[in-house]
Chains A and B, each alone.
Chain A
Amino acid sequence: MNLESLYQEIILDHYKHPRGRGLRDPYAVEVHHVNPTCGDELTVRVELDGDTVTDVSYDGQGCSISQASASVLFEQLVGHSITEDLAVTDEFVALMQGRGQVEPDEEVLGDAVAFAGVAKYPARVKCALLAWMAWKDAVSQAVASQTPEVAP
């Protein structure tokens, strides 16, 4: 195990050149999540069009892992259905919590497979999950607030 397995090129690239960073309008729900042990924070906005995730915008500050993870999340999730995105999220969470024992499915995860090495550093798992937990929170709230309109 070495530093390069943790800080894969993809991660460093997303950290230095974040995709989709910055908070945008319109949005259905905005959430603010913090990692209380280190003070990293992230604001995430989710916009939906029916079952499609039309935007996930974000801003925050933190380590390379937490910020790159948000950038990868943006790339992987925007433009897909909520169902698909939640499946990707579940796969990513399982990978992160697998202590290095879970084999990542690149088909599902795309660039997010680069975080596989993080799972071997328990102290950093929360960094990688910050954006994903925030997005999951936001989309749940957005779906919940849509429900009355959808219901007959």
Chain B
Amino acid sequence: MTTMHAPLTGLLDVERVAADFPILSRTVRNGNRLVYLDSGATSQKPVSVLDAEREFYTRHNAAVHRGAHLLAEEATDAYEGARERIAALIGAHTRELVFTKNATEAINLVAYSFSNATAKAQHGRPLPEGAERFILKPGDEIVVTEMEHHANLVPWQEVCDKTGAVLRWIGVDDDGRLDLDDPVHGLDAVLGERTRVVALTHQSNVLGTVTPARRIAAAAHAVGALVVLDACQSVPHMPVDVTTLGADFLAFSGHKMLGPSGIGVLWGRYELLDSMPPFLSGGSMIEVVRMEGSTFAPPPQRFEAGVPMAAQAVGLGAAVDYLNAITSADGALTGLDAVAAHEHALTVYALEALADLPGVRVVGPVDSESRGSAVSFLVDGVHAHDVGQVLDDRGVEVRVGHHCAWPLHRRFGVAATTRATFYVYNGTRDVDDLVAAVRHAQAFFGVAGGAAS
């Protein structure tokens, strides 16, 4: 019983790509081939990224932006060179690109700008020009969505608790799209003159839904609110251009886009960054320090206190180079366009294969329109943890649980889902192995739809 599937176009030459990732050649439990379907949590790293980090440490290592010796010069050039390449990837100016530990820290940086500006204003302490935009009053409103990762939800709850602001949210419909026309949790119902921030994901890490960021940003700007976009699942997977997106801030993590862990990015419009008080403070973010008080460096240095993670930035720069050079098997597309086309084809293939499985239900859009490659699903009668365990036994490594989006799971009335996420090194064979393993899980737990294999 097979359905006729449309031929897939736009795929990468997966075998060639996978050869660049040393970890993919290892075996896992029971000598199985590693089928890595958890790139939404963290991606694997190509050898060029590993080499770039190693090259930095073996040739150029020094504390950047300090010292006048040759190594300090080379290290600083490598670090700032990485900033240029990463900025170029998203159409940004280098001075608008702040390095952080990860996207969580990047979002916290923006969130703390609000609570810090509010606290300083209450005591009449100095603030940068234009900081009024970051001072919150009790009753001001911060808007998020019900599909946020905890990283773009909890920091805003914290800001509300510190300032008396009120958290509101845009709801999610049964298909896993933002319910923008809902009378209670829709865009018009939630946005108003007290809205100061709209923080939303660009692509759901659970549902794969790509949100209409531009439309929401326009509505937010119409009421004078700032827009913070969690781009963790978009920047690694599709072309993103901050000049046309409408967002004021954009956060993403390096480790989800073939880069090292320990490096994330906050992009912000310069005049906004320039009007924000510091987040972490200490060395190298200052202008003048006296015992009586200090003044601060312009962005991005204002937000990069302490010796930065230079090797990781260099590694992320190499990851950007890798992504830019990637080419579809037919040679028609390059860079993030090729990545997006590849993942789109794989997602279509996976959604069709899962739809053919009795007893399996996808949580999230089942059509591939405005949809990324995160595919979360339920297996009737088998808890996600148990699904994941059987999959793992066959080398298929997926994420199980609530994927740091607990309210979203509650919205769908489920405690946990099984999630497969795809990236440049995954092919249809991986999807086939996933599907076979899910059938095996059904058989193992004796539920309908299973087939022994």
Contact = CB atoms under 8 A, between A and B. Distances in A.
Interface in B429-453: 444-445
Interface string A37-63: 111110000000000000000000111
Contacts of A121: 389
A145 to B, nearest CB: 31
A39 B30 contact: no
Given A38-B402, A39-B406, A127-B385, A61 B415 contact: yes
A39 B383 contact: no
B416 A38 contact: yes
Contacts of A38: 384-385, 400-402, 415-416
B317 to A, nearest CB: 33
B386 to A, nearest CB: 5
Interface of B: 29-30, 383-386, 389-390, 393, 400-402, 406, 409, 415-416, 444-445
A6 interface: yes
Contact of B415 (A2, A3, A40, A65): A40
29 contacts: A1-B29, A2-B30, A2-B393, A3-B389, A3-B390, A7-B444, A37-B401, A38-B385, A38-B400, A38-B401, A38-B415, A38-B416, A39-B401, A39-B406, A39-B415, A39-B416, A40-B385, A41-B415, A62-B383, A62-B415, A63-B386, A64-B383, A64-B385, A64-B386, A64-B445, A65-B385, A121-B389, A124-B385, A124-B389
User: Chain A, interface size: which category?
Assistant: 10 to 19
Interface of A: 1-3, 6-7, 12, 37-41, 61-65, 121, 124, 127
Which of A2, A6, A37, A63 is most buried by chain B, counting CB atoms within 10 A of its CB?
A: A63
Which of B386, B402, B406 is most buried by chain A, counting CB atoms within 10 A of its CB?
A: B386
A2 B444 CA distance: 12
B381 to A, nearest CB: 10
A43 to B, nearest CB: 14
A44 B444 CA distance: 29
Nearest to B393: A3
A127 B29 CA distance: 21
Which of B29, B406, B415 is most buried by chain A, counting CB atoms within 10 A of its CB?
A: B415
A40 B402 CA distance: 10
Q: Which 6 A-B pairs have the closest CB atoms?
A: A63-B385, A63-B383, A38-B401, A39-B415, A39-B402, A3-B393
Nearest to B415: A39
Given A7-B386, A40-B385, 20 more contacts: A1-B29, A2-B30, A6-B389, A7-B444, A12-B445, A38-B385, A38-B416, A39-B401, A39-B402, A39-B409, A39-B415, A40-B416, A62-B383, A62-B415, A64-B383, A64-B445, A65-B385, A124-B385, A124-B389, A127-B385
A1 B31 CA distance: 12
Nearest to A65: B385
Contacts of B445: 12, 64
A121 B444 CA distance: 18
Nearest to B404: A37
Which of A38, A62, A64 is most buried by chain B, counting CB atoms within 10 A of its CB?
A: A38
Which of A12, A39, A64, A65 is most buried by chain B, counting CB atoms within 10 A of its CB?
A: A39
Nearest to A38: B401
A3 B401 contact: no
Contacts of B393: 2-3
